[in-house]
């Protein structure tokens, strides 16, 4: 076994821990969002908090987990209604977040307003990217290729 620097072990451990925490946070957001989505909220939130947390969790997981991304692509390929629903929810949730951010930060200045504006402008882009990256085009292309090959074999 070749000698490896202890510094290299520390770097690998740090990267592993970072990836683990990102994936754990993504799963936490997804599960909490799935639980909160059907529950009516006692406080009037300006945007649907459950669906927002679910979409953000899915966005984090599709960015950092290839297996999760492939699973979402497969589910979207098999269920067209679910795919269209996800696109609709992502589009409208993104618009709600942008409107809320604009209303809250319109005539405010300070560190909290800047932070909310930063998050409110990045979040819709992340969700749109997630919907784009999980589009089931690859699965549909593979199904077409299989059907062509099945027709040639007969």
pLDDT at 46 over 70: no
**Residue pLDDT, tens place only, 76-127:** 888 888 888 888 888 888 888 888 888 888 888 888 888 888 888 888 888 7
Spell out the domain ranges in the chain: 6-153
Mean pLDDT computed over every residue of the chain: 82
Burial of 32 (0-12, 13-18, 19+ CB in 10 A): middle
Question: Between these two residues, 140 and 64, which has the higher pLDDT value?
Answer: 64
The pLDDT of residue 1 is 54
Does the CA dihedral 13-16-18-20 come out positive or negative? negative
pLDDT at 47 over 80: no
What average pLDDT does range 131-143 have in this prediction?
78
pLDDT at 13 over 90: no
What average pLDDT does range 54-79 have in this prediction?
88
Among 21, 139, 19, which Cα is nearest to 71's? Answer: 139
The pLDDT of residue 31 is 95
First to last CA, the chain: 54
**Residue pLDDT, tens place only, 20-38:** 999 999 999 999 999 988 8
Model confidence at 68, in pLDDT bands (50, 70, 90)?
Answer: very high
Whether pTM exceeds 0.95: no
């Amino acid at each position: 076994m070749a000698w490896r620097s202890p510094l290299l072990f520390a770097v690998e451990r740090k990267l592993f821990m970072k990836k683990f925490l990102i994936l754990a946070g993504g799963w936490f957001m997804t599960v909490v969002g799935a639980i909160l989505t059907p529950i009516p909220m006692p406080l009037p939130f300006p945007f649907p908090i459950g669906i927002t947390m679910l979409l953000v969790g899915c966005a984090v997981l599709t960015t950092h987990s290839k297996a999760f991304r492939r699973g979402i692509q497969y589910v979207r390929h098999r269920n067209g209604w679910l795919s269209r629903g996800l696109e609709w929810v992502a589009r409208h949730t993104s618009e709600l977040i942008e409107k809320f951010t604009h209303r809250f930060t319109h005539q405010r200045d300070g560190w909290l307003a800047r932070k909310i504006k930063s998050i409110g402008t990045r979040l819709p882009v992340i969700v749109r990217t997630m919907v784009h990256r999980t589009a089931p085009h690859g699965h549909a292309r593979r199904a077409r290729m299989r059907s062509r090959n099945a027709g040639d074999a007969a």
